[in-house]
Amino acid sequence: MTHLPEKLLTGYHNFMHGRFEVESDRYRRLAQEGQAPDTLVIACCDSRSAPETIFDAGPGELFVLRNVANLVPPYEPDGEFHATSAALEFAVQALKVKNIVVMGHGRCGGIKAALDPAMKPLSPGDFIGRWMSLLAPATEAVAGNSMMTTTERQTALERISIRYSIANLRTFPCVKILEDKGRLTIYGAWFDISTGELWVMNKETGDFERPEAG
């Protein structure tokens, strides 16, 4: 009788005898000194878009916030349960990260569900529907565009959602103030799962551009 799935135990074994052994000094130092990552990545929960894998990051390098469709809600200090805002607050105010990267990805299930009028709630509470309603104005605009194919609509909304999350980031006073002071920089990126390409948002135009080769 094991208390964890076999695959996870095997993976953990490999980790202990591989990466942990190689990086044990680093883990010990991080344990003693605490974490000091420079960058917060806000990514989707999707199992194919893990920031640590995509950015080849070691322990202590990235502070990662993942939720359905990498959305940032607007600043709402209303006493409700705001998991994303709490993680954001910790990264910016306690860890004092220098960079925030909002990273969306292709074939995002959350975005697909938002665009699909036939999509039924998974539960009576419909947490996903409520969460994705953050994007409602953009979703309606994109869903109603009959000139675009389904795939084009999907990619468009994935990218719009990144710009939207970045706009919401700036509604948090701590983010806005630090960005205005030049102590925090915000980036957008979109990961193409099938090719592995990371498209980066041009800060001036908001367009997503293919990375330079190399």
**Binding piece for Zn ion, criterion CB under 5 A, among 30-38, 110-118, 148-156, 196-204:** 110-118
Distance CA 126, CA 19 (A): 40
Only one residue has tokens 């070691």, namely: 58
Instruction: List, as residue ranges, the binding site.
Output: 44, 46, 105, 108
DSSP 74: -
With beta carbons less than 8 A apart as the criterion, state whether 184 and 178 touch.
yes
Q: Does residue 157 touch Zn ion according to CB under 5 A?
A: no
Work out how close the CB of 127 gets to Zn ion at its nearest, in angstroms, rounded to a whole number.
Answer: 15
Whichever of 37 and 110 has its CB closer to Zn ion, that residue is: 110
Q: Does residue 201 touch Zn ion according to CB under 5 A?
A: no
Q: Does residue 46 touch Zn ion according to CB under 5 A?
A: yes
Distance CA 23, CA 10 (A): 19
Q: Does residue 108 touch Zn ion according to CB under 5 A?
A: yes
| Binds Zn ion by CB under 5 A, chosen from 40, 42, 43, 44 | 44
Distance CA 88, CA 93 (A): 8
Instruction: List, as residue ranges, the binding site for Zn(2+).
Output: 44, 46, 105, 108
For residue 13, which of 29, 2, 28 has the smallest C-alpha distance?
Answer: 2
Instruction: Point out which residues bind Zn ion (CB under 5 A).
Output: 44, 46, 108, 110
